[in-house]
Amino acid sequence: MYHRFTTLFTAAFIIRSIWPYNPAEPALKDCGLAVTASGSKGLDYPETVLTKLRNRDQLIFGLYYAALFSGVAIVLPHFPRWLEAEGLGAEQVGIVLTAAFVGKVFFGPLFSTFADMSGTRKVWLILLCSGYLLAVAALHFSAGFAVIFIVWAIGGSLLTTQIPLSDSMSVLAVKQRGLDYGSARLWGSISFILVSMATGYFFSLFGDVYILPALTLFAVVAVLATALLPNLKSRRGHRASLSLLTALGIADFRVFVVIAALVMASHATLYGFATIHWSAAGLNEFEIGLLWAVGVIVEVILFAYGTRLLRRLDISGLLTIAVVGGTLRWLALGMTTDLWWLVPIQALHACTFAATHLAVVGYIARSLPDHLGASAQGIYDVLANGVFFVVAMGLALLVFPDYQGRAFWAMALLTLTAGIILVCNRGRFNG
C-alpha cells in the first residue's frame, strides 16, 4: 500500500516539475494582472527589492497554504469518524457537517465585505484563524449532539471562510509583489496529501482518540503561519453591497454560477458520508486517506494542463467535462466499495472539482469587470459551498441512512440538472 501511494505522489510531483501549476495564470493575464520584469502593475519596486519580496512571499504563502490545508486534511477524511466516536449517528454527523456550510452563508459575505471596505485582509484572516482555533479547543470540552453542533457550526464556518479570503489575498500579492500563486498554492495540495495519508495511518494504529488533538495542533500552526503573511493593502471600497447587486444583475453570470455551483455542491455526499461509508465497508483509515489523496493528485495534474485546456475547450467545454465526469463519478461511487475500483473513480475529482474551478476562474476573469471580480467570487462561493451545498447535504441526509452508498446517486441528479441548463445555454459563456 505504501508503495502504491509513493508511486502516485512521485508521479504528481514530477508532473509539477515539468508543467507550471497555476490555474489563475490565464485569468490574471486576461485581467491585465500579469507582473512584468520591472515590477507589478501599478507599483514601481526596484528589481532587487521586488525579487527579495517575491522570494520571501513564495516561502510564506507556501507555508500558509500548507498549514491551512493540513487542517482541512484532518477535517474531510477523519473528522466524521471523531463525531461517530462521540456517539453521533450518521444523520447527526451529516447535520453537524452541514451546519458549517450554513454558517458560511453568513460569515463569507460578512468577512469579504469587511476586507474590501477596510482595504486589508490579514487582520480578518487572523481573526478567522483565531476564532477557528478557539472553536476546536472548545470541542475538547464538548459532549452531546447539541453542543457539538453549535461549536462546529461556528468553527467550521470560520475554517471554510478562510479559503476564499486567503485566495483573494494571494491575488493581491500577485498584483503587488509578483507572487507565483500556483507555486504557493501547490503546497496546500501537497500538505493535504501527506497529512491525510500520514494521519490516516497514525489513527489506524493508535485510534480515533487522537483526531481532535491533531486538529488542534494544525489550527495552532495555521494561526502562526497567518501571522507571518505580509500586510498587503488595497484601495478601500465603500459600496460592496452595490457590487454584489451589480454582479447578480448580469444574466449570463447568474446562469453560469448556477451551473458551476450545482456541480460543486454535488460533492456533499462525498464530504459528509464517504468516510463513514467506506469505513463501514471495511476500509481502514490509511486506505481512506489514500482515496482522498488520489483526488488531490489528479487535481494537481489537471491544473498543470489548465492553460492548454482553457484555450482548447473554453468555458463550456470545461463545464461539460465537469458535468459528464461528475455524473459518472457519483453513479459509480454508489455501486462499489472495492478499493481498486474506488481509486480510478476518485480520479474523476479532476473533472468535478478542478475543471469546475478552472472554468470559474476563467469566466469571472474574462467576462466580468475587475471591480466586480471579488463580489462575483463571493457570490459563487456562497452558492456552491453554502446555499446549494446545504440543499445537497439535506438530500444526502434523507437518502444515506436507509440506502448508504446509493446516496451518491442523488448527487448525480444535481450534475444532470447542471448539464440540462448547460445544454440550453451552450456557447453563452465562451468568447
pLDDT truncated to tens, each residue of the chain (431 aa)? 433 433 333 333 333 333 333 434 434 444 433 343 334 444 455 666 667 777 788 889 889 999 999 999 899 888 988 998 888 887 888 888 888 877 877 887 777 777 767 777 788 899 999 999 999 999 999 888 999 999 999 999 999 888 878 877 776 777 677 777 667 777 887 888 888 888 888 988 888 889 999 999 999 999 999 999 988 776 555 555 566 677 778 888 889 999 999 999 999 999 888 988 998 899 987 888 788 888 888 887 776 676 677 778 888 889 999 999 999 999 999 999 999 999 999 999 989 998 898 788 777 767 776 556 566 777 888 888 878 988 898 899 888 888 888 999 999 999 999 999 999 987 777 65
Rounded-to-integer distance, Cα 29 and Cα 6, Å:
35
Q: Which three cell numbers stand for residue 261?
A: 455551483
Q: Are 103 and 157 in contact (CB under 8 A)?
A: yes
- What pLDDT shows up at residue 24? 40
Q: Which residue has cell 480578518? A: 124
Amino acid at 78: H
Q: How many CA atoms lie within 13 A of 153 on its CB side?
A: 15
Q: How many CB atoms lie within 10 A of CB 110?
A: 12
Rounded-to-integer distance, Cα 72 and Cα 81, Å:
14
Cα–chain-centroid distance for residue 92? 23
Cα–chain-centroid distance for residue 411? 18
Q: Is 161 exposed, middle or buried (0-12, 13-18, 19+ CB in 10 A)?
A: buried
Rounded-to-integer distance, Cα 239 and Cα 15, Å:
43
- What pLDDT shows up at residue 30? 41
DSSP letter at 233 equals B
| Domains of the chain, first to last | 23-238 (1.20.1250.20), 240-431 (1.20.1250.20)
Question: 380: which residues sit within 8 A by CB, 6+ positions away?
Answer: 257, 260, 261, 360, 364
Rounded-to-integer distance, Cα 8 and Cα 409, Å:
28
Q: Which residue has cell 474523476? A: 348
Rounded-to-integer distance, Cα 260 and Cα 425, Å:
13
Rounded-to-integer distance, Cα 62 and Cα 175, Å:
17
What Rg, from alpha-carbon coordinates, does the chain have?
A: 21
Rounded-to-integer distance, Cα 22 and Cα 243, Å:
27
Rounded-to-integer distance, Cα 417 and Cα 4, Å:
36
Question: In 3D, which of 104, 71, 78 has the Cα closest to residue 385?
Answer: 104
- What pLDDT shows up at residue 23? 39
Rounded-to-integer distance, Cα 71 and Cα 382, Å:
21
Q: Is 36 helix (H, G, I), strand (E, B) or coil?
A: strand
Rounded-to-integer distance, Cα 105 and Cα 382, Å:
5
- What pLDDT shows up at residue 373? 59
- What pLDDT shows up at residue 16? 36
- What pLDDT shows up at residue 201? 84
The secondary structure element, H or E, covering residue 400 is: helix 388-403
Question: In 3D, which of 42, 66, 35, 305 has the Cα closest to residue 179?
Answer: 35
Q: Are 57 and 64 in contact (CB under 8 A)?
A: no
- What pLDDT shows up at residue 231? 85
Question: Is the pTM higher than 0.85?
Answer: no
- What pLDDT shows up at residue 242? 60
Q: Are 272 and 404 in contact (CB under 8 A)?
A: no
Q: Is 345 helix (H, G, I), strand (E, B) or coil?
A: helix
- What pLDDT shows up at residue 371? 59
CA dihedral sign of residues 72, 77, 80, 84: negative
Inter-axis angle of helices 373-382 and 145-177, to 10 degrees?
Answer: 160
Question: In 3D, which of 291, 394, 385 has the Cα closest to residue 346?
Answer: 291
